[in-house]
Chains A and B, each alone.
Chain A
Amino acid sequence: MPIYYLRLAALSYKRNPVLSTLMVLAVSIGIGAYMVIFTLNYVMGGDPIPHKSEQLYHVQLDISEAGQDRQAPVQLTYLDATALMESAPAQRQTTTSKFGAILEPGNPELRPFSILGRGASADFFPMFDVPFIYGGPWSGDADDNLEQVVVLSRELNEELFGGQDSVGEQIRLHGTNFTVMGVIDDWNPVPKFYDVNNGPFDSGEELYIPWPLLVSMELSRSGNTNCFQAVEGSGLQAFLNSECVWIQYWAELPTAADRATYQSFIESYAAEQNALGRFQNDLSRNRLYDVEEWLIEEEVLPDETRILSALAAMLLAVCLLNTIGLLLSKFLGKAPEIGVRQALGAHKGSLFVQHVIEAGFIGLLGGLLGLAVASFGLEGIKILLGDDVMMTNWIQLNVPVVIVTIALAIVSTVIAGLYPIWRACNINPAIHLKTQ
């Protein structure tokens, strides 16, 4: 019977195309607008590493002075980052910072060009489950020994080596030769949780090198740097000794006990620093955030999207209210047919199912058209945001969003249709059989 009812729904659409099309348009506009905002929320507010987001912790140390009315810094100083790397009790941990440099391709046909790279510890790759197509990450020894090794992105490997396995090949960066250890596959977590204060919706970096090399090679930092006190003196060493924060720090703590131990460690460290005249605020301001907590703390999802969500939901509600009216008109217009069907043996249950399927059919068409509306809307959002605000190539409909769109359209139309369906199923057939 469901297929029979679906066929009746299609015939019913044909019988009254204007009314039916109006309903499809109302549903599609409401659903399309809602899905534009849903997509933004979904990709901006989604968990970028769901399988271990509760095991990865951003470390925040509050170096601000007592009485300074400002939030705790989101990055660490060089002093604190290196101290934690030496002694903090984590299964894995990484310092990481963004940098810019000039790359000199070995291919004489290519000119030198500037790239954005990331300094990271060896643990960065296994911590964040970075996928490799060739080779793998460098070892911890490479960090300690300042080895000139590099991991390339798939795109850069395409550009430099035509996509071939380049492990063992040499590239020249900032006047120094680096050996390629691995090439990572497409990897672009959205938001870029490991560095939300340097463009949470930017693309990933083009290459990765051991983080200590940023200092030893005096590479140019590309991310935000905030100083909580004036730098005393000049030169690199003065900067490294300063209260300037520029390093993101993450630890992998698989269990609650690991987290408690690490929290205890950073509080002890803060107390120790407090004795030295630093860390003058409440020790509880030195804390760990898992990925989800960190994205909320940093307000990665802008407030505007919440307002837009409410507006889109209201628009959807208005469209569905219109759909209720249109469905009521359509189904009550079918009263003679419903009367005949009752005379021929249809009971209220079968009529209810028939009309639920008809409403669902309208919802399905509205959902499909809504996908087109949503695609159009998302293109508009990309134009509005522009690449200068953020990288927008991740703003697109994906399979889960498409499924949610269709399902939401069908379910919401069926819900909107419940009252019209109830009215239609409760008509008195006798009246309509005589007057048809």
Chain B
Amino acid sequence: MLKMIDVSKVFRTELVETHALTDFSLTVGEGEFVTITGPSGCGKTTFLNIAGLLETLSSGQYLLDGVDVSTLSDYQRAKLRNQKIGFIFQSFNLMPDLNLFDNIDVPLRYRGMKGAERRERIEQALEAVGLAARKKHVPSQLSGGQQQRVAIARALVGEPRFLLADEPTGNLDSNTAQGVMELLNEINDKGTTIIMVTHDEQLAQRSQRNIHILDGRIANPVLTPLKTPGESTAAMA
């Protein structure tokens, strides 16, 4: 479970102080599919970065699976990130020099996993996204949709509890985006909690719960699930 209590994030420079999140409280339960919406600059990505342990918070409390992350060292945060969180980005963020196999291998390397187990997991992940035959290809040889599938395989290969997606369909055409969303729903149906930032209101309406952020605060504080867990696949089909 992911729980934020009165979390604030302030970015300071010599001249400016920007309040990206203010008294932000949110609880995401096991297996939920939550979308985060809001206008540009409202704090969606800051929330996602704090949730993914890529940013520290200025005040408040953040508990990830019961662990207060604000007291963790860089090493402990990295370890937690590696084991419990998967990321999907709008621009895929694959490493251009590495082939698909090696791209998916990265999080497993940091986990210190043995070669044979890594290989088995990578091949399974590639199989799951339908790109097993192209494991020796480099990202530039793939279409946008295929690259996002590789990014999803990389995010899932370590079997994380949480999948954080920052506008994963933002760079894709509608057909490809639909395919990626179907894949995310399948993943969610298998129990992975997904928090997805999106600008697409239609996609947001089809998730179990939508959080709308305005000026760093939750604009729809009544946290009523739009759909119960398990309904999402049927709803989007």
Question: Whole-angstrom distance between the alpha carbons of A406 and B158 in the complex?
Answer: 40
Question: Whole-angstrom distance between the alpha carbons of A337 and B97 in the complex?
Answer: 11
Which chain A residue has the least Cβ–Cβ distance from B76? Answer: A347
Question: Whole-angstrom distance between the alpha carbons of A101 and B89 in the complex?
Answer: 88
Question: Whole-angstrom distance between the alpha carbons of A436 and B46 in the complex?
Answer: 16
Q: How many Å from the CB of A358 to the closest CB on chain B? A: 13
Q: Which residues in A have their C-beta under 8 angstroms from that of B77?
A: 347
Asked whether B55 lies within 8 Å of A430 as measured between CB atoms, the reply is yes
Question: Whole-angstrom distance between the alpha carbons of A339 and B94 in the complex?
Answer: 11
Among the 9-residue stretches B102-110, B126-134, B204-212, B220-228, the one with 4 or more Cβ atoms under 8 Å from chain A is B102-110
| Given A11-B97, A436-B93, A344-B110 contact (CB < 8 Å) | yes
Q: Which residues in B have their C-beta under 8 angstroms from that of A433?
A: 49, 54, 87, 89, 93, 166
Asked whether B81 lies within 8 Å of A343 as measured between CB atoms, the reply is yes
Q: Which residues in B have their C-beta under 8 angstroms from that of A346?
A: 78, 110
Question: Whole-angstrom distance between the alpha carbons of A337 and B96 in the complex?
Answer: 9
Q: Which residues in B have their C-beta under 8 angstroms from that of A434?
A: 45, 89-90, 166
Question: Whole-angstrom distance between the alpha carbons of A419 and B55 in the complex?
Answer: 23
In this assembly, does B98 line the interface, its C-beta being within 8 Å of a C-beta of chain A?
Answer: yes
Asked whether A344 lies within 8 Å of B82 as measured between CB atoms, the reply is yes
Question: Whole-angstrom distance between the alpha carbons of A1 and B79 in the complex?
Answer: 16
In this assembly, does B117 line the interface, its C-beta being within 8 Å of a C-beta of chain A?
Answer: no
Asked whether A342 lies within 8 Å of B54 as measured between CB atoms, the reply is yes
| Given A430-B45, A436-B93, A1-B75 contact (CB < 8 Å) | no
Asked whether A340 lies within 8 Å of B81 as measured between CB atoms, the reply is no
Decide if the interface of chain B is mainly helix, strand, loop or mixed. Answer: helix
In this assembly, does A12 line the interface, its C-beta being within 8 Å of a C-beta of chain B?
Answer: yes
Question: Whole-angstrom distance between the alpha carbons of A430 and B50 in the complex?
Answer: 9
Asked whether A11 lies within 8 Å of B107 as measured between CB atoms, the reply is no
In this assembly, does B91 line the interface, its C-beta being within 8 Å of a C-beta of chain A?
Answer: yes
In this assembly, does A423 line the interface, its C-beta being within 8 Å of a C-beta of chain B?
Answer: no
Q: Which residues in A have their C-beta under 8 angstroms from that of B96?
A: 15
Question: Whole-angstrom distance between the alpha carbons of A124 and B97 in the complex?
Answer: 66
In this assembly, does A348 line the interface, its C-beta being within 8 Å of a C-beta of chain B?
Answer: yes
Asked whether A345 lies within 8 Å of B110 as measured between CB atoms, the reply is yes
In this assembly, does B95 line the interface, its C-beta being within 8 Å of a C-beta of chain A?
Answer: yes
Asked whether B74 lies within 8 Å of A347 as measured between CB atoms, the reply is yes
A318-364: which have CB < 8 Å to B?
336-337, 339-350
Which chain A residue has the least Cβ–Cβ distance from B109? Answer: A4
- Of A344, A349, A429, the most chain B CB neighbours within 10 A belong to A344
Q: How many Å from the CB of A76 to the closest CB on chain B? A: 72
- Of A342, A343, A430, the most chain B CB neighbours within 10 A belong to A343
Q: How many Å from the CB of A175 to the closest CB on chain B? A: 79
B20-75: which have CB < 8 Å to A?
45-46, 49, 52, 54-55, 74-75
Question: Whole-angstrom distance between the alpha carbons of A4 and B109 in the complex?
Answer: 9
Q: Which residues in A have their C-beta under 8 angstroms from that of B95?
A: 337, 340
B142-162: which have CB < 8 Å to A?
154, 158
Q: Of A11, A341, A344, A430, which is within 8 A of B49 by CB? A: A430
| Given A430-B45, A430-B49, A345-B78 contact (CB < 8 Å) | yes
Q: How many Å from the CB of A59 to the closest CB on chain B? A: 66
Q: How many Å from the CB of A167 to the closest CB on chain B? A: 64
In this assembly, does B137 line the interface, its C-beta being within 8 Å of a C-beta of chain A?
Answer: no
Question: Whole-angstrom distance between the alpha carbons of A12 and B97 in the complex?
Answer: 8
Q: Which residues in A have their C-beta under 8 angstroms from that of B97?
A: 11-12, 14-15
Q: Which residues in A have their C-beta under 8 angstroms from that of B90?
A: 434
Q: How many Å from the CB of B229 to the closest CB on chain A? A: 26
In this assembly, does B111 line the interface, its C-beta being within 8 Å of a C-beta of chain A?
Answer: yes
A401-436: which have CB < 8 Å to B?
428-430, 433-434, 436
Q: Which residues in B have their C-beta under 8 angstroms from that of A428?
A: 55
Which chain A residue has the least Cβ–Cβ distance from B49? Answer: A430
Which chain A residue has the least Cβ–Cβ distance from B110? Answer: A345
Q: Which residues in A have their C-beta under 8 angstroms from that of B109?
A: 1, 4
Question: Whole-angstrom distance between the alpha carbons of A419 and B58 in the complex?
Answer: 28
Asked whether A345 lies within 8 Å of B49 as measured between CB atoms, the reply is no
Q: Nearest 8 CB-CB pairs, A to B?
A: A345-B82, A347-B78, A345-B110, A430-B49, A344-B107, A11-B97, A347-B75, A430-B54
Residues of A within 8 A of B (CB): 1, 4, 11-12, 14-15, 336-337, 339-350, 428-430, 433-434, 436
Q: List 20 A-B residue pairs with CB atoms under 8 Å apart, sorted by A's residue number.
A: A4-B109, A11-B98, A12-B97, A341-B110, A342-B54, A343-B52, A343-B54, A343-B93, A344-B82, A344-B107, A345-B83, A345-B110, A346-B78, A349-B74, A430-B49, A430-B54, A433-B54, A433-B87, A433-B89, A436-B93
**Given contacts A11-B98, A343-B81, could you give 19 more A-B pairs where the C-beta distance is less than 8 Å?**
A1-B109, A11-B97, A15-B96, A343-B52, A343-B54, A344-B81, A345-B78, A345-B81, A345-B83, A346-B78, A347-B74, A348-B78, A349-B74, A349-B75, A350-B78, A430-B54, A433-B49, A433-B166, A436-B93
